[in-house]
């Protein structure tokens, strides 16, 4: 068993196309799994690394493994005209939108360093967002059977503020969560978000009636993330 490494390297990507961020995720994901395979094959104990990538994407619609193509309400020509990219992905979940004004977090964690429980992992991601919303006076909640964070669940005004979809192999995670901050919500009119009909989508800015600092939100998320995972963050230097 490798020694547990509870340090998470923060990687600030700024604005980046979805495909480019995906390639980086896959590279780090493969590298981590390769270390674990070598440790098992050679009985070595090289520690694995953990990462959290912060990124803001150009407009893109992604479809998860359990997603349905009919939840995309635009054809290829309409996507091109509106300058929206489209990608089928390996994450769980259905269809969602990423774009400007949205904080996307991609944790690439070796859960052997923390706990080997995907259900718990997802609940911790949700809780980090719920705790952050509470700092803004908003009560974020879960909706039974639906991954992510919502407001006013159980009412006609239920609306989603953070979507999630992950992939894991050998307890290494990738993909993550998309938290609407200053997002142009009209983009969500082009999909049936997460395949869920009859519920709205919202953003932190819409709820508070003002634009919100990305830096401030990320700092709050990091505090709650570190507390839940009993981890520490360092900025990746290279």
Assess contact for 187 and 99: CB atoms under 8 A: yes
Tokens linked to 86 = 């489209």
Q: Decide the pairing of beta strands 172-180 and 102-108.
A: antiparallel
Q: Which of 132, 135, 144 is nearest to 177 (CA)?
A: 132
* Catalytic position from the list 194, 217, 221, 231: 194
Q: Which of 145, 142, 147, 115 is nearest to 130 (CA)?
A: 142
Assess contact for 124 and 97: CB atoms under 8 A: no
What letter does residue 230 receive in the DSSP assignment?
A: T
Assess contact for 195 and 68: CB atoms under 8 A: yes
194 carries an active-site annotation: yes
Active site residues: 194
């Amino acid at each position: 068993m490798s020694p547990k490494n509870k340090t998470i390297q923060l990687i600030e990507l700024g604005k980046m196309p979805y495909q480019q961020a995906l390639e980086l995720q896959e590279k780090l994901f493969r590298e981590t799994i390769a270390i674990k395979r070598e440790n098992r094959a050679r009985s070595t104990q090289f520690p694995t690394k953990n990462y959290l990538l912060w990124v803001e994407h150009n407009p893109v619609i992604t479809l998860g493994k359990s997603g349905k193509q009919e939840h995309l309400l635009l054809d290829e020509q309409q996507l091109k005209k509106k300058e929206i990219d489209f990608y089928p992905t390996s994450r769980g979940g259905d269809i969602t939108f990423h774009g400007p004004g949205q904080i996307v977090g991609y944790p690439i964690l070796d859960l052997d360093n923390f706990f080997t429980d995907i259900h718990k992992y997802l609940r911790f991601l949700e809780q980090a967002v719920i705790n952050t919303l509470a700092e803004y006076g908003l009560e974020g909640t879960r909706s039974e059977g639906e991954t992510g964070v919502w407001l006013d669940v159980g009412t006609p005004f239920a609306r989603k503020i953070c979507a999630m979809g992950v992939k894991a192999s050998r307890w290494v995670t990738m993909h993550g969560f998309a938290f609407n901050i200053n997002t142009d919500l009209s983009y969500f009119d082009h999909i049936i978000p997460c395949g869920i009909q009859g519920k709205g989508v919202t953003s932190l800015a819409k709820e508070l009636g003002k634009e919100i600092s990305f830096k401030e939100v990320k700092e709050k998320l990091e505090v709650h993330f570190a507390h839940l995972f009993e981890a520490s963050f360092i900025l990746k230097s290279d």
